[in-house]
Amino acid sequence: MRYFFIVYILLIVVVISVAGFRGSHSRRPPLEVFPDMDRQPKLHPQSENSFFANGLSSRKPISGTIARGRNFEVNPETTGMEYGSYLENIPVKVTGELMERGRQRYEIYCSPCHSSVGDGKGITTQYGMMPSSNFHDAKNFFEMTDGQLFKTIEVGSKSGVMSGYASDIPVQDRWAIVAYIRALQLSRLGTPEDVPGEMQSQFSN
């Protein structure tokens, strides 16, 4: 029992002398428990290095390297924003070709959840997923500008329930989808008067 007390007290002394003085200043070199963690054989960025002919530790990317992430110019067309606010209108020219591309991309990427008509009751609702946003709702039509729709495709919905499609849908295609969503929305708001005169005869009530 006596030995136990001696060992116990010694242990306390050892623990306090090693751990108890952490953070206090000393002129002596610190105790390095894992010296290879403190001193790693690595090169600091932009330091000198005799291994390479030009003496630099930092290497240039090899030619043909393609940057990941932000390898695009930052302007209203690529961000959907200008002076910190969302663009009101699509900044690219809306052509028949763009609309067709938008329809196709929409069918691939958006219709499984938002449905082909955009009412949010896509096929995923049959598999237990909650309905997605209805593009015919005021919230997603009157209040969301073209830039906001663009941003949603890039980064996902505000609450984060829908994730972003930045890696799958390039900038041009995002605008194409925005244009197509506007067409879907108009399809429910349009009146017979919106149809060009020469085509009105094709409609009968």
Binding site residues, ligand HEC, CB under 6 A: 109-110, 112-114, 124, 132-133, 140, 149, 152-153, 157-159, 161-162, 165, 169, 177
Q: Residue 114 Cβ, how far from ligand HEC at the closest point, in Å? A: 5
For ligand HEC, which is the closer residue by CB, 57 or 185?
185
For ligand HEC, which is the closer residue by CB, 90 or 110?
110
For ligand HEC, which is the closer residue by CB, 76 or 112?
112
Please name which of 112, 79, 98, 125 lies closest in space to residue 183, comparing C-alpha atoms: 98
162's enclosing H/E stretch is none
Give the torsion through C-alpha atoms of 185, 188, 193, 195, to 10 deg: 60
Q: Residue 79 Cβ, how far from ligand HEC at the closest point, in Å? A: 16
Using alpha carbons, list the distances in angstroms from residue 46 to 49, 58, 86: 9, 5, 39
Which DSSP state fits 127? Answer: G
Q: Residue 90 Cβ, how far from ligand HEC at the closest point, in Å? A: 13
Residue pointed to by tokens 């290879």: 36
Q: Residue 187 Cβ, how far from ligand HEC at the closest point, in Å? A: 16
